[in-house]
Structure 1
């Protein structure tokens, strides 16, 4: 993991608002990257000094290309490098010698950079490239400068008129950090169609110095950024990033995160249940939940949610209080009963409430409806819009000002009148302005779903910050995500990991070893002895007492392999089970363990997996042999506090089984939470274990007892 460093706005000023920029590899050919970088830089030359470098000479927009950095009349603060790989290191070294403080390296192909240390001779080309890139970053940071990239698309700050990238980036209020350049262009186009755009864009590239957390930190402090979007594949120091996400939430800057869903679960499943149940994406989802960020699935969803957040004030908790802290209440106005009903269904399916309207509000709305118009929720216009297009604004205004709903959805035909009758364009635009005025007056959110596209009235709505969606499911998804953010409590950034670790290392992940380890942390197991022969098993059984359990050691999935025999009531049964088990498994070591059968017990699975980016991640779920089938699990970064462990238990879908289902006594949640804390602490303090698992953990009214445990060495 990378070393923690504090990033201030001033530390990255030269990235976003340098006093001088030089583009090395500038070109006059529009087919080349150097052209777009140079022309973008020149667009801000009234604000800063812009110098262009190409050893072959040339000119762009009246600015001559100079042969090298040494020939520049002004030493640049920020240098953009777009030259072939063998030239990159030399350009950077020359830039450092003249005092440059920031480098944006567009060039990919790090193995060609060279390090002066023989990295190019590495047997693996990927290792060679990584070594060369790390060497370049070390060279830059050793001089107190910063590096963006390499292999990035550049950087854009529309507020400082800095455009050092290929492509068009519309101005707006969304700050984007991305490891994919094309995805950034897609998001930009979607935002532009919706009347929005970027405050800043940072293409991370290979993150050899400036990483996602650095870029996100800069957006938290950036006044022009109201919503933060990020696409991250490589989380590097995930715990540091989690703290940054929590800081963004605390600063009222919503973070919308996209990531890939690559999972190693299938490869880990043979090692443990935990590995099968804790995918990479599940970890990211848990981090987002605890840090107050929203994990989304697509670029379109990200843009839809961003528009809704901007309309709602883009602030966690800004949607207004909902009685009892429940889901947001939505009022629906539809041109037809069908559209209104489908909208209500979509909103309800997304977890939102479509409540009945009070008699007073129904009367206010009904004053504008023809006979037969529906005054409930949804409101059925029943032709009221066709008879007078102004009724759209009057009815929406009544619902917004009534204060009975947190947001109002207008679904149907509005925005399309001018398409069929151009003479109505001016009036429809006037109504759009009236709708926007009602939003401002009420302080509530209005969302418009329409069958129209890109008409003058819709342009007016977008200009005034009213979100417009082509499909009702887009509106429902955006409102539901906004509501989730509104209901997010104080973020829970990860607890710090201990500086030291336990003095002894765990030699293996077998049951006997792991059981002893967890007992030392306070976890409770049944009485047991470990044996190799049937005679030793019979002797141990006399001391342990019947009924008992016989387990074969060295198996990750004992039950499936025939390595567990339960409820053995006497020595004869024990001997028969031992013979069958030895034949089925070939094991040479066995556990003879007292049978634990506490009444009203619930089987849980608890585990910790060491994630490459986020470190130890704790998991708890409904356990036993159906753990993977039910997949009812929750995750959090370890270590855990007792309160946090209890929250995880209550977050399970099957949590009612723990709190007293159908009159059964409640399980001992404090004992269960204590067992989770012990497991998490053991895993944190023993980094030699890649995974640590207890399955099942029996939780019952009298306490919690672990029946099996397993570890996987890193």
Structure 2
């Protein structure tokens, strides 16, 4: 259902309007009245009164015309009657500010009532909605206009982001406070921002991802539309507090899942409001055109120019520490820079040191910056140091400094590349002019470096929208997650295992060794999640007496009633991996692969992606591991069969995606070697 009535209604009614500036109803009403040149505004308060000459009506039934969008700021017990009255009067959208009083079931019933009548509900427990392009301000606080669209589950965080944006010369195109997300959720709001021409950068603070796969599709769609997405969420400080029924459960945290989703969708996951604003300001200033060399515009290679050798060197260090490149300039670019320094002793290799050229002639800043931008050696240029502060010491230089600021902006636009300014100045006319020209300005060089790093990162990592899940289960639900059951499931999906038999007595074990597996073999006790730690695995059993002795010891140690007799798999140059799938409440099945065996958690070298996997995606995950050189041929060793390893991951993820009753499904170890891939153990955890 459309959200046009949310962002640009023909008419608005504020129920709970007030003339008291200390109350929410005042800010909602005064904000609504600010847009009355564009739409009809009705104010409702059963006690009467007025604001700015507009009388308060007693109820929605008294309105002279239908209110398309109704803002509800009344005590909790009055919310439902107001919504019912609004629906009866023909309202299409409700923004419910009220918090407290209603339990989740009542809130869901309220949302169902609205949607059943073809309407939409924002909230409850939200801070409202703002669209600066349609003069809609239905919220508390000030929201500067700009090109950043924000979706947030925290109202105060939105206010902080707004103030920081305002100080940086940016602001909001739209702001949506999600509240409890009983109807309109983060994906709904972000989809509208993707389609909104005035929104250049999407930002979101989300605590509850609801339908995570839909949100992931929205993030990927935003990237495809050229709209970068910046995301804040929780979970850096803990692994979400779940019990680890498997290695997979211990290695796949909620935060790690979100990181993987953002990586594949091309969104940028951030850690603070300040970092979000710094990156948003840069993204809003960036242009989607290609550079002159035909490469997509990014920020991976940066030229640094400053009027202080120390600041230039520190800026270069900050950039390199964040994974960016500060390359030596090509001879042609160096010559162009040197021509503008007029024989001064400044360095020209990168960083470029103006060495007093700026003090002698302010226009040197623009000329050198233009040479770097036009040179094509780099994707972005960082100007660091004193520029913007000359007029503070000498007011007579104000006009000239502003003129140079305009020249800097023109140089950036003409080159199609990024210019970023770090300065020790604050709130000077030249800085205001730079911002008007679309040049991002930062007070600390680490802010500029971090923002440039975030701009460059999605260019290297985006993999596309999330994979589709099967429409129905791939077979009857599993009734247990033991090795025998899980092995049969995974084998049916094409995953290879050593020859094996399942037995209950020592005689049966000896017979299985003679008829099926041969020696050496492995004996495993069934029914244990971590067999090795519990004494439930015996390796390299060479003959029948050793088998019978191991069987007796294992039965006494574990109390198991059923055992697997399995051929011993030994492959030279093999690497042990762990591969698993965990069902995330928001995102569904999540695939994990990493260095495996009993030290899986010690290494913690893992890569995640939403399941099921395709062979190219599985191969990319394997190669993204820190220890990937072990797979591709470390120190002269032959490479493992990456295609077989990738197909093994695909088989595992297909099986898990087709069995939603499995909370976790794991193979550990998955033995990959130059000749193929073989699963040596597996188990599942039922929901």
Global fold match (TM > 0.5): yes
The interval holding the TM-score normalised by the smaller chain is: over 0.9
**Residue 447 in 1 paired to residue 427 in 2?**
no
Q: Does the Cα contact within 8 Å between 1:602 and 1:698 map onto a contact in 2? A: yes
**Residue 395 in 1 paired to residue 386 in 2?**
no
> Given the superposition, is the C-alpha separation of residues 37 and 487 from structure 1 closer, same or farther in structure 2, using an over 3 Å criterion?
same
**Residue 496 in 1 paired to residue 468 in 2?**
yes
Compute the displacement of 1:539 (Å): 3.5
> Given the superposition, is the C-alpha separation of residues 276 and 133 from structure 1 closer, same or farther in structure 2, using an over 3 Å criterion?
same
Match of 1:88 in 2: 79
SS class of match (1:83): coil
> Runs ≥4 in structure 1, deviation > 6 angstroms?
322-327
Q: Does the Cα contact within 8 Å between 1:263 and 1:281 map onto a contact in 2? A: no
SS class of match (1:367): helix
- Aligned with 2:195 (options 213, 218, 221): 221
Match of 2:485 in 1: 513
Q: Does the Cα contact within 8 Å between 2:130 and 2:139 map onto a contact in 1? A: yes
**Equivalent residues in 2 for 1:105-184, closer than 5 Å:** 105-111=96-102, 129-184=103-158
1:48-90 CA-partner distances (Å, limit 9, x unpaired) = 1101000111111111111111111121000000000000000
**Residue 254 in 1 paired to residue 228 in 2?**
yes
**Residue 537 in 1 paired to residue 528 in 2?**
no
Match of 1:39 in 2: 30
Q: Does the Cα contact within 8 Å between 1:263 and 1:279 map onto a contact in 2? A: no
Q: Which moved more, 1:670-679 or 1:325-334?
A: 325-334
Q: Which moved more, 1:287-296 or 1:254-263?
A: 254-263
- Aligned with 2:182 (options 184, 208, 217): 208
Q: Which moved more, 1:22-31 or 1:536-545?
A: 536-545
TM-score (norm 2): 0.96
- Aligned with 2:93 (options 99, 102, 111): 102
Compute the displacement of 1:440 (Å): 1.9
**Equivalent residues in 2 for 1:620-635, closer than 5 Å:** 620-635=593-608
**Residue 275 in 1 paired to residue 275 in 2?**
no
**Equivalent residues in 2 for 1:299-698, closer than 5 Å:** 299-313=273-287, 315=288, 318=290, 328-369=300-341, 371-488=344-461, 491-543=463-515, 544-698=517-671
> Given the superposition, is the C-alpha separation of residues 322 and 276 from structure 1 closer, same or farther in structure 2, using an over 3 Å criterion?
farther
> Given the superposition, is the C-alpha separation of residues 318 and 39 from structure 1 closer, same or farther in structure 2, using an over 3 Å criterion?
farther
Q: How many residue pairs end up in the alignment? A: 685
Compute the displacement of 1:326 (Å): 9.9
Tell me, which stretches of 5 or more residues in structure 2 are unaligned? Answer: none
1:93-120 CA-partner distances (Å, limit 9, x unpaired) = 0000010010000011252xxxxxxxxx
Q: Which moved more, 1:530-539 or 1:355-364?
A: 530-539
Q: Which moved more, 1:142-151 or 1:449-458?
A: 449-458
User: Matched residues in 2 for 1:663 and 1:326: separation?
Assistant: 36
Compute the displacement of 1:579 (Å): 4.1
Compute the displacement of 1:633 (Å): 1.5
User: Matched residues in 1 for 2:599 and 2:5: separation?
Assistant: 55
Compute the displacement of 1:155 (Å): 0.3
> Given the superposition, is the C-alpha separation of residues 32 and 205 from structure 1 closer, same or farther in structure 2, using an over 3 Å criterion?
same
Q: Does the Cα contact within 8 Å between 2:386 and 2:425 map onto a contact in 1? A: yes
Compute the displacement of 1:415 (Å): 1.6
Q: Does the Cα contact within 8 Å between 2:298 and 2:379 map onto a contact in 1? A: no
User: Matched residues in 1 for 2:528 and 2:386: separation?
Assistant: 64
1:290-329 CA-partner distances (Å, limit 9, x unpaired) = 222222221111111111112212x4x7566577999722
Match of 1:285 in 2: 259
Match of 1:231 in 2: 205
Match of 1:19 in 2: 10
TM-score (norm 1): 0.92
1:616-663 CA-partner distances (Å, limit 9, x unpaired) = 111111111221122222222112222222222222222222222222
**Residue 66 in 1 paired to residue 57 in 2?**
yes
1:500-554 CA-partner distances (Å, limit 9, x unpaired) = 2133221111111111111111111111222334444333333322211122222
User: Matched residues in 2 for 1:521 and 1:220: separation?
Assistant: 39
